[in-house]
Amino acid sequence: MLELENVSTAYGQSQVLFGMTLSVGAGEMVTLMGRNGMGKTTTVRSIMGLTQAHSGSIRFENQEIRRLAPFRIARLGIGLAPEGRQIFPNLSVRENLVATARAARPDSGGKPWNLARVFEMFPPLAARARAMGDQLSGGEQQMLSLARALMTNPRLLILDEATEGLAPLVRAEIWRCLESLKAEGQSILVIDKNVEVLTRIADRHYIIEKGKVAWSGTSEALRSDKEISHRFLGV
């Protein structure tokens, strides 16, 4: 579904990605992990066209998207819950969800996402539907960010720092939602640091170091080799 091959990205004269290569198959949950500053968010920005990669190939459902504008990439069916949530503070929960909603493609299959289904997935948002974005807790904002991405009826869902800074109970709720989405066949690329949970719910993993993949493999392989986590993810 998504393929990055030898992608290089820079901010001015400062290069961040050096031949980044990864893939996400239909129905897979794949993770991108690594220490801070290694290029995880830049990888996401490159995929979405927010920071254009200067070389390599980024293909979504066999279409080259590296040079497309961000709104065109989103329209192809990639939904993003970005780092920092970036919800609209002066809109209500309901307005945040409706503002970016997009109908499912006719060939998408499955049950489309709408307000009723999102509120069923995230009951706290239903209870606070009239609350403004800046009146929500951090956990509620993260739920809203994820719900807003789902309202675009994405073929591929990307979560950047899915549970960063959240309380344990809220973190568990986000993981529950992701497990439910995966069970429904949603393709997911998730960036997070919780190796224990990610190896339980995800299919494959990429660990990035200094702008390129340092290790990739299955959950079983990552669980069985503690040295990998210590070498590339330990503080």
Domain 2-232 bears CATH identifier 3.40.50.300: yes
Does 164 or 219 have the greater pLDDT score? 219
End-to-end CA, the chain? 33
pLDDT at 108: 63
Residue 181 structure tokens: 């989405």
Instruction: State residue 43's pLDDT score.
Output: 96
pLDDT at 73: 95
Percent of the chain with pLDDT over 90: 72
The ranges assigned to domains in the chain are 2-232
Instruction: Using DSSP bridges, classify how beta strands 156-160 and 78-81 pair: parallel, antiparallel or unpaired.
Output: parallel
Q: How many CB atoms lie within 10 A of CB 120?
A: 11
Residue 113 confidence class, pLDDT cut points 50, 70, 90: very high
**Mean pLDDT score of the chain:** 91
In this structure, are strands 204-209 and 29-33 parallel, antiparallel, or unpaired? parallel
Whether the predicted pLDDT of 2 surpasses 90: yes
In sequence order, which ranges of the chain are alpha helices (DSSP H)? Answer: 40-48, 70-77, 93-99, 115-121, 123-127, 138-150, 168-183, 195-201, 219-224, 226-232
How confident is the model over 34-52, as pLDDT tens digits?
988 899 999 999 999 999 9
List own/partner pairs for 59-63 with CB under 8 A and 24 or more apart. Answer: 59/2, 59/3, 59/5, 60/1, 60/2, 60/3, 60/156, 61/1, 61/155
Where would I find the H helices in 31-129? 40-48, 70-77, 93-99, 115-121, 123-127
Q: Are strands 187-191 and 29-33 parallel, antiparallel or unpaired?
A: parallel
Q: pTM for this structure?
A: 0.91
Amino acid at 1: M
